[in-house]
Amino acid sequence: MDPLARRLRAREAAAFAELVHAEQNRLFRIALAMTRNQEDARDILQTALMQAWRSIDSLQDDARLGGWLCRITTNAALMHLRGRRRRPELSVEDAEETFDTMGHRTHPVAPVTPTPEDQVTRARLAARIAELGAALPEGYREVWVLADVEHLSMEEIGETLGLAVPNVKTRLHRARLTLRKALADERGAA
Amino acid sequence: MTCREFSERLYALHAGELSFARNTLLRLHAAFCPDCRRLLDGYTLTVDLAVGGDTALPADVAVQVEALLGNLAVDSPGPG
């Protein structure tokens, strides 16, 4: 067993502080990416850390400690969002492409941006993607945050969210397609 | 190679999970298919721009975390 995990299991507060200090920036980023609200992210982080401390006894011998905290923070963010009035969400289904029997698209693909090398446009797009990411439906939002914002591996995300790796990939792909379509739609409407 | 096949393999193409031959086939298709090229370009851009950065904990949140950890230390039995 990891020495730090052993100290945690002994409920050593200094060990917990050590772990929190190593992970707190990432945990805050996850909460912020999920909510796009600093106050909410702060509340979620506090709730998650309290829950982590209380549930140390449930820590598995082979658990990755960072992943364990990510899971608790992600769940705290989801619970926090469920308790709030629902914001408009993007439709994952609308982003699915349709094809005829010959394998040709039934609808053309709209471009996201005419000038991808334009740095001003890219900065605006990045900010918009962050906003749109928080509007992904539950089940997709947390996968997208952990994969494309925090760059966890598919295996780590699967472990964190309790999903099989193929399921993680499917959700991530659909989340990306949804964001791509939302950007293209906004560009078309501009 | 159809647009449907391209679309179905887009995740694997982007993730670099395909064989060299399959990867070449898909990129060749995108080179001649404007819709699939737009899909690939937009997908890649969407992934590339979704970055969390190195956002550090805001100072007030850091203070709050330290206070929380301090309270735990008071309640902790400590090592040994």
**Gap between the Cα atoms of A167 and A95, Å rounded:** 18
Whether A88 contacts A41, CB under 8 Å:
no
A131-170 residues touching B, CB cutoff 8 A: 133, 144, 148-151, 169
pLDDT beyond 50 at B80? no
Asked if the Cβ–Cβ distance from B2 to A97 is below 8 Å, we say: no
**Token pair for B41:** 């370009």
Please say whether the beta carbons of A16 and B69 come within 8 A: yes
Whether A102 has its CB under 8 Å from any CB of chain B: the answer is yes
- Identify the closest residue of chain B to A6 by CA–CA distance: B79
Helix and strand totals (H; E) in chain A = 8, 0
CA-CA distance, A61 to A69, in Å (whole number)? 15
Kindly give the confidence (pLDDT) of every residue in chain A, 190 residues in length, as a single tens digit, with 9 standing for 90 and above. 688 888 888 888 999 999 999 999 999 999 999 988 899 999 999 999 999 999 988 877 667 888 889 999 999 999 998 877 667 889 999 989 999 999 999 999 988 875 655 666 788 888 899 999 999 999 999 999 999 998 899 999 998 899 999 999 999 999 999 999 999 998 766 5
Across the interface, do A17 and B58 touch by the CB < 8 Å criterion? no
How far, in Å, CA of B76 to CA of A17, rounded?
A: 12
pLDDT of the residue at B51: 75
Q: Is the pTM of this model over 0.90?
A: no
Question: Could you tell me if A129 and B29 are in contact, meaning their C-beta atoms sit under 8 angstroms apart?
Answer: no
Sign of CA dihedral A72, A75, A81, A82: negative
CB A183 within 8 A of CB A129: yes
pLDDT in tens, B2-58: 999 999 999 999 999 999 999 999 999 999 999 999 999 999 999 998 876 667 788
Q: Do B72 and A179 touch (CB under 8 A)?
A: no
Q: If residue B32 lies in a helix (H) or strand (E), which one and from where to where?
A: helix B20-32
CA separation for the pair B35, A123 (Å, rounded) = 25
Check residue B13 and give left, alpha or beta (phi > 0: left; psi -120 to 50: alpha): alpha
Task: Identify the residue whose tokens are 């449907």.
Answer: B4
CA distance A133 to A130: 5
Amino acid symbol at B24: T
**Closest CA in chain B for residue A18:** B69
CB contact at 8 A, A113 and A125: yes
CA distances to A73, A84, A138 from A78, rounded to whole Å, are 9, 10, 8
Chain B residues within 8 A of A103 when measuring between CB atoms = 2-5
ipTM here: 0.85
